[in-house]
Structure 1
Amino acid sequence: MTAEPARDHGRRARADRRRTELMGAAYELVVTRGFRAIGVADIAASAGVSHGTFYNYFANKRDILDAVIDHCFVRIRDLLLGPEGDDTPTTLDAFCARYARVVDRCYDLVATEPGLVNFFLLEASSIDDAVLDRCLHNARAYAAESVAKIRLGIANGYLNPTLDPEIAGEVLLAILVSALLSALRAGSDGLTQDRVRTQLVAFLRTALGAQSD
């Protein structure tokens, strides 16, 4: 690598690092204080940079929100699906056990990062239509992963072969959102974590499982 390309690579790496730092600062502020309560000055100060530096990377506060939303969804996916997120169950019992763990992780997420869940479920969609579209785009990516798992479950014989994989994938997404909402209510409506886990998993087993002869 010649000197000039090496310098270009170094500049790009520094720019990517600075952009990531700004996004990380914005993320922390959004989930702790809310998007509407912060400004560019708060983000720049949290990242330890000047106003001018911020505007080298993002046009305004609304512009950085897109990066924050994408990061939120990546974090939610990683935290809820866990280290086995890309694994594929080979039996109905394993499939149900996997989603029982997802339900429990919904409660863990609300307990450890309530601001993230509140932003994702309650604030983000009310900011503007573009934010809602971006949230839906990210949610569809999770649903697409779920559709792939449904197809494999059908192929492996433990999910009902008459299922529409697209609809069943949406059901799995709805299960996740339902568990998060129940966790936010913290059992105030009588829906304890054990009850929510048991009932949601039983629903999955009955609604999606292959019928035994």
Structure 2
Amino acid sequence: MTSTALDHNAVRRAELVQAAYGLFLSQGYRNIGVADIVARVGVSHGTFYNYFDNKRHILDAVIDHCLDLIGRRALGSVAAESTATLDEFCANFRQVVARVFELNDAEPGMMNFMLFEASSIDGHVIERIMQSLGTYSATATEHVANGISRGFLDPSLDAQVAGEVLLSIMTAAIVSAVRDGEDGMEPDQVCAGLTDFVRAGFGTG
């Protein structure tokens, strides 16, 4: 297969995934069929089945897309060892919380879909989400361990437990973003409140 054909296949697959992504978020996974996806892209059923076995198969690709968005655009890729002070640690955390709200605005319905719908589809989806959460937790643990070793985080902290706590706090931020002000909290308030909590609970005082 030529590189041009490979590029075309990659583009067509991405179009199908984007179509499914938009439809699942706007109308719900259970309300969408393969016919809806191919109609949005303007291709035949046969084209769909060149890339995916069924609707459940393309859901995996949509989940991958959502996890990639969360990883790249919310969590970011700041190396743990690049953080040298409590102020930098808290600033990095605040940026992540702020990016959660930005991502929720940029991709309406995505976080709601991941939190409440995708996780209820079947056990395999839950397992994949939990694996990703484990990766996020491991990254948070690295940041905590770095802070402890450099002396700006409380030395009595268990790095792994503290990493799990950071992930739980991030989940609270995601839920607040999904509620879109229904909790009476503006994004800046959530960012400041959660960051102050982390500073007080994790810092050396």
- Calculate the TM-score normalised by the size of structure 2: 0.88
2:151 pairs, out of 150, 157, 172, with 157
Give the partner amino acid of 1:121. L
2:137 pairs, out of 135, 143, 151, with 143
2:197 pairs, out of 172, 193, 203, with 203
Query: 1:67 corresponds to which residue?
Result: 61
Once the two structures are TM-superposed, the CA of residue 8 in structure 1 deviates from its matched residue by 5.0
Does 2:38 correspond to 1:44? yes
- Calculate the TM-score normalised by the size of structure 1: 0.85
Stretch moving more, 107-116 or 199-208? 107-116
2: CA distance between counterparts of 1:23 and 1:190?
35
Aligned structure 1 segments of 4 or more residues deviating by more than 6 angstroms: none
1: CA distance between counterparts of 2:61 and 2:5?
21
Tell me the percent identity: 47
Query: 1:105 corresponds to which residue?
Result: 99
Preserved contact between residue 23 and residue 67 of structure 1 (Cα < 8 Å):
yes
Deviations 1:75-114 (A, max 9, x none): 02222135xx334322110111111122222222233322
Query: 1:86 corresponds to which residue?
Result: 78
Q: CA RMSD in A?
A: 2.0
For these two proteins, the number of residue pairs brought into alignment is 203
Does 2:128 correspond to 1:134? yes
2: CA distance between counterparts of 1:28 and 1:120?
13
2: CA distance between counterparts of 1:20 and 1:189?
36
Deviations 1:144-198 (A, max 9, x none): 2212222222222212223222212111211211011112223333333333222
1: CA distance between counterparts of 2:55 and 2:110?
18
